[in-house]
Structure 1
């Protein structure tokens, strides 16, 4: 490829500039269309390429015409490929050679090129035989996807019977013009200084999210964003004058900017709003002189205030003084009056009306005396809720009663109800004597009055005895003639009292003293059958009586084919008072069932212990020092008779080290002291 040139035809005048080895010409064509031309040499051809408009708009159709003049020997031109930006779309049936349309079967179209195929003879330009050149045309529609304002290049590829070549870097290029936009600014009138003005610009051709700049003269006053073709700006102008305001759409990558016509916004001085208030008494008697004062703010220059009772004028309008005040003095008839003050306005100061001022005027009446009677308890307990009722002789609602204990108010004043009564329900937490009075406030033409003193003596309540619960523990089975252990636990553990064990309605022995909440006894049943056993706790100081639930014991005759048993007991030879040791019993034959009651002499140790694999074990701490004789009683079970140990074991219980008296004999003491 040889060095070529490019040109843009401008009103019939060509201006050349050398750049990158080819010549370019720029200008504005007729009716806004500016053709662009490029020249170059390729594969024995001198090529002149012309695009009908170098700055087309979206949707416009442009034509690319290439004139190929043969500079070498004869060649049959077979293919011409026009390469273009992929945002251009080939126009069907626009491919032509020397003005003749090329059949569609000879045209190949892709995203970025259009190519024709055939056979066209082209003779040497210096010879006598024609044609010496061929003119090839392609037309395209400019798409919306084209970038705007940037050079989009084109090129030409040719091939024939003598070879092929590519005309690159020559072009010409096109630059797609941005879409046209228009901006219109809505007028604004009646604008006052310090007030916000909504400026509204309407843009055609823009996109949501684009920016519109608002200007006061040449100064930017803010920016709005397009939404549905409209951008707004809340503007608070400064200065009392005429402001020349424009709106400039800033465009985007595909849409050109546009500026609205100027709109004159006349800003005048703002009216001043005012507020009017009334001060004065809210109550009066009929015929009493009352003065009401109206205040206007900010303090205006001039104007009047018209006082009104509802819709009726009260006298003439009163001139507002230098302090913004006006007053009215007069008397009113009995009843409720709603007074307003209406400021007339003056100059820039706007009119205003006060909120209603309520004046309640009472008729002149003759006051009547009253009596107040107080009724309430004369004695009570601390913490008890009491009730004191005051009755006022009016016998009707109105006024309040202030209950007092001595000089102290017992609560807030209590309204008198429709029956002329008021009640308070105090609670006194400290024992003592309290002097209560009721003071009626008075109401309407009824005068106030005070009751006589009601004295109430408050004492601490007597203590309440505690509830108790008695739980009975007995074996499920027993044999006639064999003692079994019965025991109870009383909770909470009382101080004193006894437990009476009972078989049905009959008693079992004498009452047993309760120690640390526990009591137990041994008992032999003399008859077979089911015995319903209960335990009745007698109660004690501060503790109430209680009865256990019924526990059934099945008593059988040991002579009825039951197998005899024997029981032996074992225990350590010595123990320390308060320290637990294990007591063990062995039942022969080895069995499961029944219980073992360990005994300290004749006193049961704890409750019955179940026999498992012929053994029963109890952990026990002795509470007294000395020799303790330990035995055990087996209750028997189904098929086995009860039994007792034939010989017990002795456990020597001593005091804890360092406590109690020496455990040695007098002889030992003599040895110690040498006597």
Structure 2
């Protein structure tokens, strides 16, 4: 029998230990008191309830047990007291151990016995406590206090009990109770919604605040008996829902449904007044007539005048421009029409609280804009010499052409307008007075027009004198087996280019190739030097029936073998922006390289050399020259190169040459360009 009791005690101990599979904690009596103090000071403690105290009694052989729980319908955070009173009806005994079994969600607070051992699902005290059947002490009472935590299941009876050891006798009553049921948390729900009237289409934010709920719990929103949506509580216990209500007086309410840990609750009903949008009317105003290309104002007037929204204008049903914001009941769009009849309407797109509406169409008759044409021509010209005719149209049209006329005869083909201007180069072939005019064709939005005539007196050119001057241009340096150009320019006594005849190039007095024909005053001979050294070059102009022959000065070309690597050079050119025909201007070129530069510069007008080659001095060469023909001249400068230096060509620069009357003289202070 004693052996069986020992086994029972061992089994009970094993069961108690087995119930604590998770990490356990042990508190000494001092630690328990400290924990209790911290709990009472730092957390909510509703005290010991008394409304639902329950007691259960039973006997085990000669030992009688009375177990009382202060409140069997507890709530989270409440401290409940568990008392077990042990009495004897037989012989005296000594208790050595008492175990109080509890749910894991009860947090130990205190005990009336020293040095309690606190585990996850039980609290155990050990000592020596005598119980007499008739003498004092005839009972021992063991008291434990626990706090109910949120981890407890709700509305579910939670078992508890006790166990004891007397000598070698031990027994457990882990589920004797009384059972404790933890109530769900009480909640309150409030709803915040706008108290101002809203209109159909306006979004209203409903905000519910729930106390006693948990983050993630649902909240349902209702309009009367109709559930309109749901949301979840955030960490602050707030849930929101955006709602676009239908018209009428809406009764809105927030309902928090019961959860596993919380009771349901509902907010008070709130009324939200939702009104229908205000009807609007729109009238469009336009001018009865307009001129193509000239902006006019299209306007609308809204009723009521406090209507908010935008207006889209339309021309013959097609939208024009962007939508215009309505301000103080009106909207305006500046618009430019093309010629024709236009039906203008306007559609109002109402903002929140206002309906859309469309204006009745209004008609605008648009005519082309009148134009004025003016022609510009020189007062005098010579047969065979090109002149510039120009015409300008105002106001500046968007297109069209200009037909220049000499009297009734067309001059060339129609010329396209560029920024309201047309330009034509023309060469007169007959002497006399020519009446020059220009006819503008017109285009969409712009009417045709004819320029008043301008008279041009055309004469034959003055016969050039017989004397000529022949200028030779050769590179200062050349390489064997490389082609270089030898140039000659032949001018008459007036400085005009000579047409016709031939030029014979010479080296040391010996013919260099065949004679070269002179065209527009220029003769060019491509030549390849085969011998190293200094070559003396000259040229002889044969003359023509109207011009005498002439001979150039001798120029020298230093010929060397090609170097393996020549240094790069860069040539920059500076010319005046404009010049007067037959007035001398200065052309300036500079050559830049990483090493000192020597050699020559040849200036060109288009592909025609200007004068003779010019020697570089400190990397710079200048040439004084008088242009005899008017118009735009494309000027370049070509550096010949030298031993160890590559030749280079400048970017072309434009020089505009104009003519003046004989009584006007030269234009001074002309700007330079580079």
TM-score normalised by L of structure 1: 0.42
> Max radius of gyration: which structure?
1
State TM-score, norm by structure 2.
Answer: 0.42
